[in-house]
A = this chain, B = another copy of it.
């Protein structure tokens, strides 16, 4: 492909609104253009890479027996009302009316659609299990679309759905899918982790996220360097082994703590170790207000309490609630003298504290020497905090590692959440109606492209591997008008073609410096410069990933390129 015939509008300047590497390079290297906030056109190079990612996805999903479908963008409101998400999904759901005033959603996801599709056509356990997938444009009206392809309003996803009559086959498909995702991410050349995740709004009974390691990632993941264990920080379990303090329990003492609102204030003001303080939080747990205690240097993890109590909603209670319920400001809350009916949950580590400092439920006062079982009673001790640096891995053998990740995939065991809501049933072996057991499996194609760039691009531009590169080789004649260079360029183009290698030829009348800079931005794996020694049949090869460069005779070129690519 000649560069003069393909739209690659490279830019010298970093676009002012692009904060992260992938966004900057996708614009600067002429891969994408924004047409409205969070809505992009894929120019030829990006579309080319996208097609290659899609091909890998299709291959790996075919390998596990999933078949491809294509469900509509426009989804009738009725099915979203059946699942309850027409309202629940909120302003992110893009809606429209057709000429007959009928309501439609622009699909952000297809659980309703696929359930509607299958409930009409699958009526017997004999036709299960079944897995379908699609690669389709999705819509989500993000309040703050940002980071280019990482968080757009119109984006591409692979989404798959499986239907089962037994949880065993759901488990098997879930595992197959996890393996397929791993292969896909490996073939994309990525460092990634599959982490235990919260099922969140989509519901269901088990889920894993696929996180691409990258500094700009919005998720924090923790993992064990020496095992497979990895989890979203919200789901990471704290390794706990009881190590009760051996200090003698002393008597409760009330002390004035004027102006000491935070744990740090109290630690400094009272000169106590932070590990001996207890943070007391008021939490709105569905309709009930409960208290949660964590050690002063720990952070409460609401997802753990939500899952433990099987709550629909959870939120920290605000200052007004604190004052109304406890009669004290938030900085002086504590378990002693709390209303009798209020349940108090405490993190495991609180068990070990003797002679703790806690709020006195009276503004500007704290208690010292507070001891659970003596001065206050706890409903239950449990793992209710976030893991933090220095915590051990779940097996207690190593220290947890932390990383930032970009969530590119999320797979869920949905169970019967949608099939029950939408009355999607099959007849079991005994002729009884049963709701489908379902799984759903998302992988962001456009987000994956951005994540790959975040992890692989360097300070000069994009760096593609062989499988994803829009073209394998960038052929750069220094003077395209020079007869020897033009002839050798054509010869090499042919040679590459015969060896199933694709090339982009920079036939533009630009200075070599411009061509080289654009070439590094665009990021094809191998650059071949045809210059002064063209008449001798000698060219320069430069490897994009390593920067390594050397001269080579054309006769050896193909073998060398294949070696470099593999």
Contact = CB atoms under 8 A, between A and B. Distances in A.
A7 B122 contact: yes
A113 B6 contact: no
A35 B68 contact: no
Given A91-B99, A95-B96, A36 B70 contact: no
Interface in A116-152: 116-118, 120-122, 126-127, 129-132, 134, 137, 139, 141, 143
Interface in A213-253: none
Provide the main secondary structure of the chain A interface: mixed
Contacts of A139: 73-74
Contacts of A69: 7, 41-44, 47
A68 B140 CA distance: 25
Contact of A126 (B48, B106, B509): B509
A192 interface: no
Contact of A7 (B6, B33, B76, B121): B121
A81 to B, nearest CB: 14
Given A96-B106, A137-B137, A120 B33 contact: yes
A132 B7 contact: yes
Contacts of A113: 35, 41
A137 B47 contact: no
Contacts of A68: 44, 47-48, 51
A193 B118 CA distance: 40
A70 B94 contact: no
Given A30-B121, A39-B74, A41-B69, 15 more contacts: A1-B67, A4-B126, A7-B130, A9-B121, A9-B122, A33-B121, A35-B72, A35-B76, A40-B72, A42-B71, A47-B69, A72-B154, A74-B139, A92-B99, A99-B143
24 contacts: A4-B126, A5-B130, A7-B67, A7-B69, A7-B122, A9-B121, A30-B121, A33-B120, A33-B121, A35-B76, A35-B113, A35-B116, A36-B102, A40-B72, A41-B69, A43-B69, A47-B69, A47-B70, A48-B67, A73-B154, A94-B98, A96-B106, A106-B106, A126-B508
